[in-house]
Structure 1
Amino acid sequence: MELNVTGRSVLVLDGGPRAIATVAALLREGAAVTVAAPTVCAALEDLALRRRLTWVTAPVDEGCFDVVLRAVAPLTADAPDRTGRAGHVTLVGAGPGDPGLVTVAGRAAIEQADVIIADRLAPWEALAWARPEAEVVDVAKIPYGRSTSQEEINRLLVEHARAGRHVVRLKGGDSYVFGRGFEEVAACADAGVATTVVPGVTSSVAGPELAGIPVTHRGLVQGFTVVSGHVPPGHPDSSIDYPALARSGTTIVVLMGVRTLPAIVEALIAADLDEGTPCAVVADASLASQQVVRSTLAHLVADTAAAGIGAPAVAVIGHVAALDPRPAWAVMTAATPFPRPIPAMVVPPC
């Protein structure tokens, strides 16, 4: 279904996982989306918390909206019984967010899946490729909010596979880059479940690239180091040697580090990394909401806060952050050169 929704108010009367593909497409097209439902899945709640959409639990006046969409109920209740058949789990790294960056093998796996177990940062529009009867399980982990434990995710993978189903574990970026993918493969192996891993485009490279920033550049820097900012320097769980990182001479790429960025910057400056080192932060890479802040190490925290940057975001620390590809800017940042229709999972109101 193709709808012209740019700049229009759209009401979606469904808060389930199947609605996410449509909501993601509406947001990409520039619609002002309101979801009206007593409860919503974790991924939609996350979008509401990030102020990408409005979620209301009470009935609303449908006449106040330009477009009203009612989701078609999924057919999971009629899914065939595959008990006795060999099940299988496919981990699909689905890239930084735009479904156009999912690999051909990743799309094929989604199209063939009986069950799709998807993360918060998975490209939810890609669910439009799934068969109507495929079951969608939302296991989004909202920072400091609703979350599905890794143990429960492992259990779901094994349970569905043992029932003879093809299970796709849909994850943002690449499954093995801070994605706990190998933990899931190990859990399946312990349970005797066969697995396949489809590599994904990692945001550690794609995020800067979509902002026009290469992580390496001939004559400037000969390597890059990717670190997790999930815990700050000095935390008992942190294994990163920040003084060594500051001396490495490589581009430093920080994932999952929006909250801990002040402590990371402080540790690098304390390790004598020049305060004038160029830096950048790229938020929502590949999406219509993508934001880029260019700064220096001394001012990165303040400039990021002033821009209202929130997770997910990638921080780039190093001289490559000062490179500017213009006038080729529009070409280098065009992750989706061709428009895609809104997934045809909705029907207009009567």
Structure 2
Amino acid sequence: MDVACYTAESSDSPLTKSTLSRRELRSDDCLLEIRWAGICHSDIHTVNGDWPHDNFPMTPGHEIIGKIIETGPDVQKFTTGDVVGIGCLVDSCGTCRACVDNEENYCEEGATGTYNGVDRHDGSITQGGYSTHIVCREDFLIRIPEAFSDLESDQAASATPLLCAGITTFSPLQNAGVGPGSRVGIVGMGGLGHVAVQIAAAMGAEVSVFSHGLSKKDDGLRLGATNYVATADEGFDKPFRDTFDVIIDTVSAPHDVNPFIKMLGRKGRLVLLGLPTEAMQIPAGLLIGKGRSVLGSAIGGIKQTQDMIDFCAEHNITAETEVIPAEQINEAYQRVIDSDVRYRFVIDAATF
């Protein structure tokens, strides 16, 4: 099936309107008509060659909401007309320890990304959500709850980035057991951070945001933070030493994490979500003395993603978004690079 899309031909060319061929449905596949497609910063890194690969031409996009219009003969969980989402993954081995534990994101054989991944069946390169349609195994579809299921609504558009930004922040917070009485710090008030604030606050935590400046302070407080601190101020960490149970660090730019480690309380954890290009220097003594830990987290499994979207629907949590037509994708990419968006772009797939 040939479908309209926007594609990058190389790392130094803009995305342009094109077509791609979607595979015939396998027995457990569903065909989606895409309604909304989010722009994630990882799309930009991949398209621009910041994360080197040779898989061009490439159609990015792993934040997708749409409607099922056809199912394979063995599909049991969904039917035509269901509103569903696709996040960062479309397949995994299904049998390793990680997959059995519902952590397909850590599949020991390598999970298949929604785009720029290798199809486990035919070896082709997967193509993502900047398109009118997509085919996906039913086991990797997320049922969109009623609160977000009106595909023409602002709620559906604003829920779309949750398929990446939502699960990326929900997973480490849930894994850490965040709840009433927890003290949570969020480093960075961007596409991930502004969702993390909402989720942590809805879990019952006292939330503090640490951002380079105070330009987004009003947003942070409105979304649920109690404190908003400028990290550009010398000694910003001192009032918060030995305070936090969890700090979620969303920043991808190189930065010193040691002030944040000092702000962790006994057995507190600093969770890294960004991918700085420079190595970090962490004195062992900062960790050993209070049993602190530094760990990473990569999105989440399918079950946890379903838990996330249901939680967000229950608590009326969405990303703050700007909807654009497809012809503005390249402009949107540059605006993300320039930090000129509050906080996520979502593409109207009807314009592909």
Is TM-score (shorter-chain normalized) higher than 0.5?
A: no
Larger Rg: 1
Q: Is the strand fraction higher in 1 or 2?
A: 2
The two structures have a TM-score, normalised by structure 2, of: 0.29
The two structures have a TM-score, normalised by structure 1, of: 0.29
